[in-house]
Amino acid sequence: MTGQSFQPIRRKSIQRLTEATWAAGRSIWSADSEDRDLMVDRIEVTEQPAPAHVAAALGLVPESAVCVRSRRFVLDGRPVLLSTSYLPAGLVVGSPVLEVDTGPGGVYARLAELGAKPVHFREEIRCRMPSADEAGRLGPASGTPVILICRTAFAEGGRAVEVNEMTLDAASYVLEYEFGSQGPPGRPQ
């Protein structure tokens, strides 16, 4: 990035998660990057026992098996995001969700094929200083905090089908939320 200033990513949270994005074969991450050079330079897919908070969020018995997808996203040569998704192993067994490349539309398109299409999302956002591990993998400027986003994806009937824990370099993002004054559709006021 020599000689250039990095332009923060405008993360349009509501628009990026619409079915129109992933059903059209686009990844939700590509919705943020526009025409910039976004890549996943590290990815690991494993099956592990669910951490207690993940099992609770997914409605699983503690220590149930989950598919864990850990990734590092790099934009314009700069690490910007660490992301770890947890999905019930019983739901995704034998599916492309267990592959490094899940195919067009990513995990949400594959969940739809499995009859567990995400229809509602909840995101919780916090900020703090990075751990030594996060600082080593993201490389933020000294004194730069990280943004923690925990997103839960729900299928029809309220069943949680994914928990995604993201760590963002705060200097690399602008979080944008746009919504109507009537509140989200389909949710009680």
Domain ranges of the chain: 9-176
128 vs 104, residue with greater confidence: 128
The alpha carbons of the chain give a radius of gyration, in whole angstroms, of 17
CB 108 within 8 A of CB 153: yes
CB 154 within 8 A of CB 119: yes
Q: What is the CATH number of domain 9-176?
A: 3.40.1410.10
Distance CA 73, CA 120 (A): 24
Cross-strand partners of 84: 70, 165
What tokens were used for 116? Answer: 């567990």
Higher pLDDT, 33 or 174: 174
Give the confidence band of 178 by pLDDT, cuts at 50, 70, 90: confident
Segment 6-12 shows an average pLDDT of 76
**Separation of alpha carbons 30 and 87, rounded Å:** 21
pLDDT reported for residue 107: 94
Round to whole Å and give the CA distance between 108 and 114: 10
pLDDT of 11 strictly over 80: no
Q: What is the pLDDT of residue 188?
A: 41
Predicted model pTM = 0.84
